Amino acid sequence: MSLVFKADISALKRAILLQNVNQSALSQKAGVTPATVQRVLKGKPCNVGTANKLSEALRMPVAELFTCD
């Protein structure tokens, strides 16, 4: 059984703005596809690895950007 994470969309968008990156640049920094970033920003669930990669790329703790369902 794997953990499922959902983004706090407003917090994630705020972090993206603060880091001054677009979705494409974020996907490159995080090592995920642009489609993955788009899905997460639309509120779709992701796995722990994706949540960690995005959080690390934005230099933010996972708990500030995601909730675990």
With beta carbons less than 8 A apart as the criterion, state whether 15 and 60 touch: yes
pLDDT digits (tens, 9 = 90+) for 12-69: 999 999 999 999 999 999 999 999 999 999 999 999 999 999 999 999 999 999 999 7
- Among the CATH numbers 1.20.1600.10, 1.10.260.40, 2.60.40.420, 3.30.1280.10, which is that of 4-68? 1.10.260.40
Q: Say if pTM beats, i.e. exceeds, 0.85.
A: yes
Phi, psi of 21 (to 5 degrees): -120, 155
Q: 2 forms bridges with which residues in the sheet? A: none
**Boundaries of every domain in the chain:** 4-68
pLDDT digits (tens, 9 = 90+) for 10-26: 999 999 999 999 999 99
Confidence of residue 1 (pLDDT cuts 50, 70, 90): low
Q: 47 forms bridges with which residues in the sheet? A: 4
The per-residue pLDDT for 3 is 86
